[in-house]
Chains A and B, each alone.
Chain A
C-alpha cells in the first residue's frame, strides 16, 4: 500500500509540463465564460427575478419534461442498447448510426423532422390526431418528445458501451444454473452495468434539460405549456438581458447540484 502511494506520487510529479499547461488552458476555457456570467449577474435584483411566476413555471416545466424524457429514454433506450450490444443482425451498424444521429443533427433540423413525422400533416401525426386524438405540437407532451429525441442517444451509447465491456461469463453462469433469460437480465446484467445506466441517465437528463432547438421548433413556445428554461432564457435575452443571466444561473445551479449529488452518491467517484 505504501509502495503504491509512493509510486503514484512519483508519477504525479513527473506529469509532463506541457500537459499541465494545456489542461490548465482547457479548464480556463470552461471557467472564464462562467465567471463572465457571475460577474455580470445583477445580484440585488436576482431574487426578484427568480421568484417571478414565469420563471417558476419554466423551471417546473423544465424539470418535468427532462425527467419524463429520461424515463422514456430508459424504457426504450436500454432495450435498444442491449440489442446493439448483444444481437447480430444485418443492418445493425446502419440502424445504430441512425439512432445516434440526433447527437450530430442540428437540433432545429431535428425539430423540423419531428414536425414532418408527428405534426398535423406529418407521416404519423395525422393518424395520431384523427384516430387517437393526440396532438403533439404546442403541447407539453411535444416538448417531452423533442427532448427525448435529442437526449436518448446519450443514454443508448453509454449503456451499450457498458454492456459491451462487461464480463458475459456471469450471465452464462446464471443461465447454466437455470435462470430464465428475463431473470438473468434483471438480476445479473442490469445490476452489473448499473454505473453505465446511471451515467447514461444523467447525461441524457442533462442534455434534455438544456434542450432548445428541437423544443422550440417542434413544440413551440408558450409559458407554462412548452416554455422550458432554455426557451425562457433565449426570449429574455431579447428584452431583459439581466433576467436572462439570472435564469441561466438558476439552470446552472440546479444541474450542478444534481450532477454533484449523483456523482457522490451513485457513481462512486472520489
Chain B
C-alpha cells in the first residue's frame, strides 16, 4: 500500500516535471539536430510496441538509430548495475527501476509511460466457463500463475487477495509468457497474465476481464541513464513515446497513465 502511494507520488512529480517544461519537454519535429544512435533497455512485454515506436521515430528523424535490448526487467536492472552501456531504461515495474535509481545510475526522475492490467487467460471459447476470479478456486480447474518472485506473480497475488480468493496453482511459472503458453497448449485451464499478453497471443486464447476494483495495475516507468552518450537523442525518444508513442502503446493493449 505504501509502495503504491510512493509510486503515485513519483508519478505526480514526474508528470509535474514534464508539464513544467523541465528537461523532458517534448522536442518538436522541426528541431532536427538529431543524429547518432541510442540503446534502449526495455522490458520484454514492451517488445512489440517499442519496436514499432522505434521504427516510427527513426522515420521521423532520419539519420537516427534506436537500438533495443529486450529482457526481463530484473535482468536489465542487473545488467545496468554491472556496467552495461545504454541510454534509456524502461522497466515493467517500479522495484527494478528503484534498484537502478538507488545505484545512482539515472539522471532524473522516472516517468510512467504506460500501464498494464491483469486479465484471466483461458482457452479460446472459454470451455471451462471461467467468468470471474472466484472461479479460479474451483476444484479440478488447472490454474498456473507466475512465481511470487517475478512481477506478474506479485501482482497476481495482490489481485487474488483483493478478491478474497485462495488459489492453489499447479505451477508457479518463471515468467508471464510461460503462463500464457501453458494455457495456449491446453495444459492449464486458466492463468493470470497482462492484457497485452492476451492481445499478442493471437487465436489460441482469450481474456476474461477483471473488474477495475479488484485489478492491480502494473506501471512502466522510463528513465534516461546517467552514462548516456547521446542525451539529446535519448530525450527526444522519451518525449516521442510520451506524445506520438501513446497511440501505439494503446494499440498493443497498454493503458495511458
- A residues within 8 Å of B by Cβ? 112, 115-116, 119-121, 137-138, 216-217, 219-223, 226-227, 231, 234-241
Contacts and interface: CB of A to CB of B under 8 A. Distances in A.
Given A138-B142, A235-B149, A120 B171 contact: no
30 contacts: A112-B185, A115-B185, A115-B187, A116-B185, A119-B185, A119-B186, A121-B185, A121-B187, A138-B170, A138-B187, A216-B173, A216-B178, A219-B171, A220-B170, A220-B171, A221-B171, A227-B172, A231-B174, A234-B174, A235-B147, A235-B149, A235-B150, A237-B74, A238-B72, A238-B74, A238-B150, A238-B174, A239-B149, A239-B150, A240-B149
B171 A226 contact: yes
Contacts of B172: 220-223, 227, 235
Given A220-B182, A222-B172, A235-B149, 8 more contacts: A119-B187, A121-B187, A220-B170, A220-B173, A222-B169, A223-B172, A237-B74, A239-B150
Given A235-B147, A235-B149, A239-B149, A222 B171 contact: yes
B198 interface: no
A137 B147 contact: no
Given A222-B169, A222-B170, A239-B149, A120 B186 contact: yes
A218 B173 CA distance: 11
Interface centre among B142, B150, B169, B172 (most CB of A within 10 A): B172
B185 A138 contact: no
A137 B173 CA distance: 13
Nearest to B168: A222
Contact of A120 (B72, B78, B174, B187): B187
B225 interface: no
B112 interface: no
Contacts of B144: 220
A231 B170 CA distance: 15
Contacts of B78: 241
A69 B171 CA distance: 21
B208 to A, nearest CB: 20
A252 to B, nearest CB: 21
Interface centre among A222, A234, A241 (most CB of B within 10 A): A222
Interface centre among B170, B173, B187 (most CB of A within 10 A): B187
A221 B185 contact: no
Contacts of B187: 115, 119-121, 137-138
B82 to A, nearest CB: 11
Contacts of A221: 147, 171-174
A116 B181 CA distance: 12
Contacts of B171: 138, 219-222, 226
Contacts of B169: 222
Task: Give the 4 A-B residue pairs with the shortest CB-CB distance, closest first.
Answer: A220-B171, A239-B149, A138-B170, A121-B186
A113 to B, nearest CB: 11
Contacts of A222: 169-172
Nearest to B72: A238
A115 B185 CA distance: 8
Interface string B164-194: 0000011111100010001001110000000
Nearest to B123: A121
B203 to A, nearest CB: 16
A115 B169 CA distance: 18
Contacts of B186: 119-121
B152 to A, nearest CB: 11
Nearest to A220: B171
A116 B182 CA distance: 11
Nearest to B189: A120
A114 to B, nearest CB: 11
Contacts of A112: 185
Contact of B174 (A138, A235, A240): A235
Interface centre among B144, B149, B170 (most CB of A within 10 A): B170
A149 B150 CA distance: 28
Interface in B141-166: 142, 144, 147, 149-150
A238 B173 contact: no
A106 B147 CA distance: 23
Contacts of A240: 149
A217 B150 CA distance: 17
